[in-house]
A and B are shown apart, each in its own frame.
Chain A
Amino acid sequence: MIAALLPLLAAQLAGETLIRMTGLPLPGPVAGMLILLLGFALVPRLVEVMRPLATGILGNLSLLFVPAGTGVIGHLGTLSANGPALAVVLIVSTLAAIAAGALAFTLVATLTGTEVEE
């Protein structure tokens, strides 16, 4: 557990430090994720060391949104004032993004001759 926790936290710490030093417009943990990915490439043994912990955390990912989500009580006024507009934004934008992604994938797959996996 410690063997897995240490690289996880160290990668995040390295990511946060890198972002503070360079001023890149990227959240520290995302930089940490890329650093850990690099770690996997350099030390392949690390992947299996980290698998149980990473799978455990990601399996309960939804739980981690609850504290921030509960903060909605401070935004009920904002949400109800902009409710219909926000509903339109979320529905149209999400459907447009799914359609754009799927169409772009099939178009380029056809153009480059990548075989279809149905």
Chain B
Amino acid sequence: MTDFTEIWSYLAQGPLLWLTATLAAYAIGNACFQASGRRPFVNPVLIAVALLAGLLWVTRTPYPVYFEGAQFVHFLLGPATVALALPLWDNLGHVRRAALPLLAALLAGSTVAVVSALGIAAAFGIKGEILASLAPKSATAPVALGISDQLGGSPTLTAVLVILTGIIGAICTTPLLNALRIRDWRARGFATGVAAHGIGTARAFQVNATAGAFAGLGMGMNAVLTAFIAPLVLRLFQ
């Protein structure tokens, strides 16, 4: 019988092991999310990342070895970004009916997200790679990683910052908008999608279908706008 360490060293070489581990960790994270009644702070990505980070640490596997396998999942971020064209297309009717309010909300939400993040971070003395990694944090992750990479940030750090932004937005949006007495579901959903991307959108769909559709629209439109304004604003704080 072959020794376990021999099997391990064989499997640890190829991409299959870490690809399977990535899917398994996400399946566990997603099961926890569903079991919690889809609470925003039980985030499947955070759980999967924590499990995998622990596993890599225990098995003393370097991240580049893990990524050999995980790259097949990572590659799909590009096609997923292109696929965002579908929800945008489906919501074009909404865009025509409320074009001006949407445009105003997009400009305000997107600009405030980037300027306030970089302004506060710069005031704390954060600079360089971390500052660049923060710039696209309100954009949906596949787009944010691409922007971060172009700006000289760290895409892995951006991934974590983007997920945390989404969770904060999902938890706070309902109490915040209630306090501001904003009742229009389009305004509530759209602003949440612009500031807190897919995780905020998932939260908006739980509250109201109109809010959800507008959140998806906000996420898609902000992905495009952030790609344009993040480099400009970052230049002001560097």
Residues of A within 8 A of B (CB): 8-9, 11-12, 15, 25-30, 32-34, 36-37, 39-40, 47, 50-51, 53-55, 57-58, 61-75, 78-79, 82, 85-86, 88-109, 112, 114, 116-118
Contact = CB atoms under 8 A, between A and B. Distances in A.
A36 B192 contact: no
Given A61-B140, A73-B57, A93-B165, 19 more contacts: A15-B82, A27-B81, A27-B227, A33-B224, A36-B82, A53-B83, A58-B84, A61-B141, A63-B22, A68-B155, A68-B156, A69-B159, A70-B52, A89-B121, A95-B172, A98-B192, A102-B187, A104-B101, A118-B183
Contact of B146 (A27, A34, A67, A71): A27
B56 A37 contact: no
A103 B101 contact: no
B77 to A, nearest CB: 5
Given A12-B82, A32-B82, A67 B67 contact: yes
Nearest to B105: A105
Contacts, number: 331
B228 to A, nearest CB: 7
Contacts of B70: 66-67, 70
Contacts of B223: 30, 33
Interface of B: 22-23, 25-26, 30, 44-46, 48-49, 52-53, 56-57, 63, 66-67, 70-71, 73-74, 76-89, 97-98, 100-113, 116-117, 120-121, 124-126, 130, 134, 137-138, 140-143, 145-147, 149-150, 154-165, 168-169, 172-173, 176-177, 180, 182-188, 190-192, 194-196, 198, 210, 218, 220, 223-224, 227-228, 231
A101 B218 contact: yes
A85 B126 contact: yes
The B contact surface, by secondary structure, is: helix
Contacts of B97: 114
B82 A97 contact: no
Give the 8 A-B CB pairs with smallest separation, nearest first: A71-B156, A101-B109, A27-B146, A101-B191, A67-B70, A104-B108, A29-B81, A97-B195
